């Protein structure tokens, strides 16, 4: 399978399948390949957001024309980069990281993660979400006390919340907004991985104390916390996936096109 566009990145910190990076990207990586200007998180007019590797995709065409909703028009770092990882590589080599090196994450990198996260789709574009980044040692320690799913000492913890003030009362819609938060978090995870960081979405936490700790208003409900940091040197084997034919069907459930077991 070939990716429809490539994501240029800095340095060689992004490992291939089965390998883990153990340190931060070079300082150039802090340029924030997804963020554009470090300050605003928005880059204007530097090139296509997607570089079509094959036939022009709607992604490439649309992005070239007008950037995305956040004004990000390029995934290519301004100063260029020495290596290219395909978007597909980034997606398939991501896995959870639960132990971290002690390096802090540069502000520009955090900005780029946030920009990637906010580029996620949302039902009716309501963006019924809110996020808190916790980077202080004290804040992280306090969060960990109520989140047994956070292991190790991450450099940052993201708290991802549904904003109920932006959610229609319909029960189906309420569920949908959790999906939107999950999509934003997946963007965050992939952007982190693309820059040599490791992260883990964590649902195992006590919402009430976390709510209090972060001084969240009542309409915000924390649904995931995400520790993130540069991966420690030793990482366990990647998790396995169920067999494709068990979980993916063609046309109707249980039916597979010829050639697929």
Ligand X SMILES: Cc1cc2nc3c(=O)[nH]c(=O)nc-3n(C[C@H](O)[C@H](O)[C@H](O)COP(=O)(O)O)c2cc1C
> Interface with ligand X by CB under 6 A: which residues?
95-96, 149, 200-204, 239
Task: State the nearest-atom distance from the C-beta of 260 to ligand X, in Å.
Answer: 22
Task: State the nearest-atom distance from the C-beta of 123 to ligand X, in Å.
Answer: 18
**Do 246 and 214 meet the contact criterion of CB atoms below 8 Å apart?**
no
SS3 of residue 84 by DSSP: strand
- 9, 100, 106, 109 from 231: Cα distances, Å: 18, 4, 15, 15
How would you classify the pairing of strands 156-163 and 83-86? unpaired
247 Cβ contact partners less than 8 Å away, ≥ 6 residues apart: none
Q: In the β-sheet with 51-52, what is the strand arrangement from edge to edge? A: 51-52, 5-9, 83-86
Task: State the nearest-atom distance from the C-beta of 157 to ligand X, in Å.
Answer: 13
Q: Distance (Å, rounded) from C-alpha 188 to C-alpha 207?
A: 21
Nearer to ligand X, 37 or 186 (CB): 186
Nearer to ligand X, 28 or 178 (CB): 178
SS3 of residue 31 by DSSP: helix
**Do 20 and 235 meet the contact criterion of CB atoms below 8 Å apart?**
yes
Task: State the nearest-atom distance from the C-beta of 185 to ligand X, in Å.
Answer: 8
- 115, 155, 182 from 228: Cα distances, Å: 16, 6, 16
For residue 52, give both structure tokens: 């079509």
Nearer to ligand X, 96 or 183 (CB): 96
Task: State the nearest-atom distance from the C-beta of 204 to ligand X, in Å.
Answer: 3
Task: State the nearest-atom distance from the C-beta of 57 to ligand X, in Å.
Answer: 26
For residue 111, give both structure tokens: 């900005």
Task: State the nearest-atom distance from the C-beta of 208 to ligand X, in Å.
Answer: 16
Q: Distance (Å, rounded) from C-alpha 27 to C-alpha 167?
A: 40
Nearer to ligand X, 189 or 216 (CB): 189
Nearer to ligand X, 23 or 149 (CB): 149
Nearer to ligand X, 76 or 158 (CB): 158
Nearer to ligand X, 150 or 155 (CB): 150
């Amino acid at each position: 399978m070939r990716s429809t566009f490539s994501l240029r990145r800095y340095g060689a910190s992004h490992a291939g399948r089965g390998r883990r990076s153990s340190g931060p990207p070079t300082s150039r990586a802090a340029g924030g390949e997804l963020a554009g200007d470090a300050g605003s998180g928005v880059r204007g007019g530097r090139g296509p957001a997607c570089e079509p590797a094959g036939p022009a995709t709607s992604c490439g065409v649309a992005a070239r024309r007008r950037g995305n909703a956040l004004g990000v028009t390029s995934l290519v770092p301004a100063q260029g980069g020495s290596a290219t990882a395909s978007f597909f590589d980034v997606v398939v080599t991501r896995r959870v990281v639960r132990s971290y090196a002690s390096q802090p994450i540069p502000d520009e990198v955090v900005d780029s993660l946030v920009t990637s996260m906010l580029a996620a789709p949302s039902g009716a574009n309501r963006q019924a979400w809110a996020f808190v980044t916790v980077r202080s040692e004290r804040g992280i320690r306090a969060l960990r006390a109520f989140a047994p799913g956070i292991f190790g000492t991450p450099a940052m913890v993201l708290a991802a919340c549904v904003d109920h003030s932006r959610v229609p009362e319909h029960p189906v819609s309420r569920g949908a907004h959790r999906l939107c938060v999950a999509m934003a978090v997946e963007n965050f995870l992939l952007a982190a991985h693309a820059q040599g960081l490791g992260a883990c979405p964590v649902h195992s936490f006590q919402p009430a104390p976390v709510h209090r700790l972060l001084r969240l208003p009542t309409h915000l409900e924390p649904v995931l916390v995400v520790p993130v940091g540069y991966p420690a040197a030793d990482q366990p084997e990647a998790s396995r996936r169920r067999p494709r034919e068990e979980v993916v069907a063609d046309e109707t459930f249980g039916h597979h096109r010829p050639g697929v077991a």
